[in-house]
Amino acid sequence: MVQLLPDDRLFVLTGAGVSAESGLATFRGSGGLWNGHRLDQVATPEAWAADPLLVWRFYSMRRRDAAAAAPNAGHLALVRLEEQMGSRFYLCTQNVDDLHERAGSHRVHHMHGSLFQSRCVRCEEPFYDDGGYELVDDLPLCAICGAAVRPHIVWFGEVPLDMERIYAELDRATVLLVAGTSGSVYPAAGFVQVAHQRGIRTIYAGPEEPLNADVFDEVLLGTATEILPTIDVRGA
Ligand code: OAD
């Protein structure tokens, strides 16, 4: 049981582990492979330049999987915390699925982009897209300028979205709660160091220690659906 104080300001960082109990595969859990391809063969600008169809087939499959999944008790526990804390709650997720929103979270920022958005490589404006693109002739083109349309996902080597806002939120938080992430992908894996330097309380929740476990004040071992519902705001 973890208790937050009534005037705490909570920054939550989630990773693939929070969606694992909804049936969505984590990245490193499957050995980092999809259909025999390493992640860096499908989630990089180089992969996109070399084989856009392969990249679109990967994200089309992930769209199908995410659409078929439902939020779990971990997602719902974060909704309850947001209801209790209001604007003192901020959720930054590395996940590109929409399970936090479908659970009912509102203050969510997808630092690695969103599975159900695409953008034209030239116009760059993201738009809602739940299409599945499996054949060369299916590959989407921009309705305005005719250029290629890519997933609105932050690939390896690209800069996560709205880092300025993320660091501003981290700067005023009093508690950092990190759940279901291996601590292997930066800059997200570095948030705990930033929080630690500020002297704020840092908590990790997941079934195994992340790579950066030694920087956390508290490491709670268990799955997202076991641990997150036990977090409460005192007096709420
Ligand atoms: P990983 O696959 O690296 O790590 C998943 C984490 O979830 C591990 O630490 C597991 O222990 C934990 N986990 C597994 N089952 C869990 C459960 N039921 N409850 C809670 N935790 C559980 O995924 P991420 O850390 O999210 O980036 O990966 C970070 C980034 O690397 C991703 O956003 C993606 C990836 O490549 C991009 O696509 C840019």
As a CATH number, domain 25-68+114-153 is: 3.30.1600.10
Rounded to whole angstroms, the Cα distance separating 169 from 12 reads 10
How many whole angstroms from 46 Cα to the centroid of ligand 1?
Answer: 23
Q: Ligand 1: which residue has its CA nearest to atom 32?
A: 94
- Which residue puts its alpha carbon closest to atom 9 of ligand 1? 182
Domain boundaries, the chain: 1-24+71-112+160-236, 25-68+114-153
Tokens found for residue 35: 């259909």
What Rg, from alpha-carbon coordinates, does the chain have?
18
> How far, in Å, from the CA of 215 to the mean position of ligand 1?
18
Is pLDDT above 90 for 38?
Answer: no
- What is the pTM for the complete model shown? 0.96
Q: Which residue, among 204, 110, 210, has the nearest Cα to 163 in the 3D structure?
A: 110
Token representation of residue 191: 């948030």
Residues 6+ apart with CB under 8 A from 16: 24, 25, 26, 27, 29, 94, 95, 180, 181
Burial class (CB in 10 A: 0-12, 13-18, 19+), 144: exposed
Which residues are marked as active site? 112
Which superfamily is assigned to 1-24+71-112+160-236 in CATH? Answer: TPP-binding domain (3.40.50.1220)
For residue 40, what are the CA distances in angstroms to 54, 58, 119, 138, 185? 12, 12, 21, 24, 13
Query: What's the pLDDT score for residue 32?
Result: 66
21 lines ligand 1 (CB under 6 A): yes
Rounded to an integer, the average pLDDT of 73-89 is 98
Q: Is the CB of 114 under 6 A from ligand 1?
A: no
Half-sphere exposure of 83 (CA within 13 A, CB side): 10
pLDDT band for 36, please (50, 70, 90 cuts). confident
